[in-house]
Amino acid sequence: MKTVVLPQHRFYTGNLILSNAQYPYRKGRAWIELNSQNLRHNVNQLYNLLPSGCQLMPAVKANAYGHGAVLVSKELNSFGVHCFCVATVSEGVELRRNGIKGDILILGYTCSKQFFLLNKYHLIQTVIDYPYAEILNAYGKKIKVHLKIDTGMHRLGERSEKFDDICNIFKCKNLIIEGLYTHLCASDNTLPQEKAFTMKQATTFFEVISRLKECGYICPKIHLQASCGLLNYPELSGDYARIGIALYGVLSNREDMLNHTIDLRPVLSVKARVASVKDLFKGENAGYGLQYTANRDRKIAVLAIGYADGLPRSLSCGNGKVLINGYEAPIAGRICMDQTLVDISDIPNVMSGDIAVVIGKSGNSEITAYDLAEQTKTITNELLSRLGARLERIMI
């Protein structure tokens, strides 16, 4: 891949990317910092795993797993990546309106009232089953599509056993079939049962492709790999790999990362300002529901971030912490919608305007997405994709 010179900062406001001069300061309250060098490093690491002839098709759905779809896709375009997949037509439209180049595949359902957006913004729609193919075809205009084959996940896709219906989809005159794909639902590990199921899915998929070719149908690009599949079953080739969570430098849980040697680096940090520092005297309460009581004279800091920004409320009452000036500050009481209280009694010289790190490094300390996911009993995918829209995304 060619080396590119990256700008120092770009800011995402929801519809536009603004330069420093247009919007000179975006770290006023709470924000997300994206490390472009780590993103490029992850892209290179993943390219090294791809089978011959396979391209990355990054999954930038759910606002690029909370990272900021436009900023991430802009950066990927500059790296030479020109294939993307999203979940919804609105996500695809947002990318196009912000100048993203290349193919954009919509993985999910699009309502017939929105079919005009597919052509207007040069988007590729997934055919989720034969009845949906008929609806797409009845629109009366040519639509570029990828046909999804259900090989065992039993979510979207035409069932692999219904070969006649798959052939009928190829006969729809208004559908320009540019790809076929399936989704591996048990590729996150290599235990015997899951491995057998994954290989059965792959075999079924390639058998469908082979039968279609025998019937004279042209099978263009094919893809079945996502992050876990590429890491655990790199021998399963295709034209694209729909890489999601791994692109952002983490896997779904810590165990997954420990089981692989790939050097992935987290792209995202979450930070917030200390809005106020307050004395709390012995016996006084703080926050909703009297859930925090000072057992002695203490100091608390009010952080300008809350559960509306995606900070899980289950981290309340000491279940979670932040970092301030390299020290740990436990969460005091209940996390609020817009603010969070933390105990800073043992941290010297904390002042209004200081930075609290929710995810990321401060001094020699670090809080990872894995830490928060484990504390909230979920996976990193959910934790990151729920980060709020009002957090400014900044590419550094």
- What positions carry a catalytic annotation? 61, 288
Residue with tokens 């009010």: 302
Task: Check whether 337 is labelled as a binding-site residue.
Answer: yes
- Residues sharing a CB contact under 8 Å with residue 204, sequence separation 6 or more, in sequence order: 149, 151, 152, 160, 182
165 sits in the region (left: phi over 0; alpha: psi -120 to 50; else beta) called alpha
Ligand-binding site membership of 257 (annotated): no
The whole-angstrom separation of Cα 86 and Cα 78 is 19
Tell me which residue of 70, 17, 67, 75 sits closest to 43, measured CA to CA.
75
Structure tokens, 8: 């120092």
Residue tagged 């406001």 (tokens): 13
Could you tell me what percentage of the chain is helix, strand and coil, using 3-state DSSP and rounding each to the nearest 5?
A: 30, 25, 45
Please state, in angstroms and rounded to a whole number, the distance separating the CA atoms of residues 149 and 208: 9
Long-range contacts of 134-138 (CB under 8 A, 24+ apart): 134/172, 136/172, 136/174, 136/175, 137/172, 137/173, 137/174, 137/175
Task: Supply 364's token pair.
Answer: 């020699």
14 with 389: CB under 8 angstroms? yes
Q: H or E element: which one contains 47?
A: helix 36-49
Residues forming the annotated binding site for substrate?
A: 155, 337
